[in-house]
Amino acid sequence: MLNIILFGPPGSGKGTQAQTLVERYELIHISTGDLLRQEIKAETPLGLEAKSFMDKGLLVPDEVVIGMISSKLENNLDAKGFIFDGFPRTVAQAEALDRLLSFKETQIDQLLFLEVDEEELVKRLLKRGEDSGRADDRDEKVIRNRISVYKKETLQVANYYKEQGKLTYVEGVGSISQISNLLIHHIDKLR
């Protein structure tokens, strides 16, 4: 199995790059952001709860997100591997992910960290807000709050995997295809 975490601040290109990588390596794409937006669209109780956090740029509670991941893994028992996009976002989520994967006698191979400066992130997200109308991308205050939550709560996930010798930094500024090539170069070394 090949299990990769695509990591980085909001707007660093995780979702964008995941699309290319899942096709190339035939992996299952698990984006907690997408899963939560589907719940919101379907107006489920989980979605209604999640929306109140996401609209403010806050993280959705760990237990909600971990439950979603657990069932996604259960539903894909014969997968060749997974690309985790936007998950884990806290150390508690990382510990839970390691536990869930160890039950399946597998583990994370590498965390690929897309590095992008803050002003570029804000520019990209405001543009997506204009193009897609995504609520959390339309307000610069909410975007800046997401970045600050990322620094306070999510960045330490990179250290958690660094201690396991599984962290690789990747330049996240450049054309989408240039960045895909860098990611592919690193992933090919793992196989």
Burial of 61 (0-12, 13-18, 19+ CB in 10 A): middle
Catalytic machinery residues: 14, 89, 128, 134, 146
Q: Is 54 in the site for ligand B4P (CB under 6 A)?
A: yes
Does 13 interact with ligand B4P (rule: CB under 6 A)?
Answer: yes
- Which residues within the stretch 71-130 sit at the binding site for ligand B4P (CB under 6 A)? 85-87, 89, 93, 124-125, 127-128
* CB of residue 108 to ligand B4P, shortest distance in Å: 15
Closest CB to ligand B4P among residues 21, 79? 21
Which of 69, 84, 70, 82 has the alpha carbon at shortest distance from 36?
69
In the range 156-175, which residues lie near ligand B4P by CB under 6 A?
none
Asked if 51 interacts with ligand B4P (CB under 6 A), we say: no
| Contacts with 139 (C-beta within 8 Å, 6 or more apart), sequence order | 129
Nearest to 99 by CA among 70, 79, 59: 70
Q: Is 27 in the site for ligand B4P (CB under 6 A)?
A: no
Closest approach, Cβ 100 to ligand B4P, in A, equals 13
- Which amino acid, 105? E
Number of residues lying near ligand B4P (CB under 6 A): 30
Comparing CA positions, the residue from 69, 63, 56, 67 lying closest to residue 149 is 56
From 2, 11, 30, 157, residue interacting with ligand B4P (rule: CB under 6 A):
11
Query: What is the rounded CA–CA span in Å between residue 22 and residue 155?
Result: 24
59 binds ligand B4P (CB under 6 A): yes
> In sequence order, what DSSP letters do the residues of 47-65 get, joined into one string?
HHHHHHHHTTTPPPPHHHH
Judged by the rule CB under 6 A, the positions of this chain that interact with ligand B4P are 10-16, 32-33, 36, 53-54, 57-60, 65, 85-87, 89, 93, 124-125, 127-128, 136, 146, 176, 179
